[in-house]
Every structure is written in C-alpha cells, then in structure tokens.
Structure 1
C-alpha cells in the first residue's frame, strides 16, 4: 500500500506543479508569456479551437496545440470516413453490382 500511496501523491504533486507553473506565466489580461511575464516571448491569443503552451529549451518558445475536443471530433470524422469506405467495398463485393 505504501508504494501505491506514494505513486498517487507523486502524480498529484506533478499535476499541481504544472498547473502552478502555467498560472505564473499568465498575466491579468490572460495572455501567456514564456518563460516569465515581460521578459520572455508573448504567445498569441488562444481560441476555442487551439491554445499555446510553453515548450522548447528553458520553456522560452510558444507551441501550438489543438483543443482536446477538436482532436476528438477529427478522429470521429476520420473513423466515419474509413467505415463508409469499408462498408461501400463490402456492399460492392457482396451485392455484385
């Protein structure tokens, strides 16, 4: 039980530290600075479809990321297209048109 408890505490601590680090890079107007406000690079504004996160050497670069819901919707669309193509091929083979 001790190892599991320590592992869970480590995961919680990592999540807390990463959230705290992101909060420190944001200013009052919501803009993101990497690595620190006014001394680093100001990231472009985020939207409902994407956001920026600090990355690279010393967290001094802004990296583009898609919102999670956009990735899920794109994956569903791709799966629907693949399923449609497979169903079309099966229909063509089985129906003998």
Structure 2
C-alpha cells in the first residue's frame, strides 16, 4: 500500500479529530478481536506522538498495517469489522 501524504502539518481530507477518532476505533477493534498486540502498542504510541507533534507519518504507516489486517479479518467474517471502519481507514491511509 502506498502512503501518499507525509505532510506533518496537513492531513488531507481528514480533520485531526476524525484521524484520532478513526485510530481510536481501530485500536478498539484490534483489541476486541485480539489481533496483533504489537501493532496495537505501536499504533497507540504513534497516536500519542501525533497528538504531541502533529506529524502523521507514524499513524499513517501503522494504520496501513491495521487496514490490511482488518480487511483480511473482514473477508473471513464479514460482520467482524464494519464497512465504515474500513472506509475511514482507507481515507486516512490512501488520502
């Protein structure tokens, strides 16, 4: 997956509030499904870093990995992961 936006000031088409909300929802879903504890920890750290310095690079990178994982889980069990969460993650990662 190609990350297209690495601008530390602007997260295109996604407000800071939506970015944080999407990542928090992603973390909740990863935890609920007991998927990749290390990714959860890394994404949590990146979210904290983003809230401190407004640089989305780490959040986007780890969200990309979470997106792949959640998409594969959704293929196994369609109701396990909501379509909206997948779409929100795609907006974040593919902006």
The TM-score bracket by the shorter chain reads under 0.3
Larger radius of gyration: 1
TM-score using structure 1 length: 0.23
TM-score (norm 2): 0.23
Larger strand fraction of residues: 1
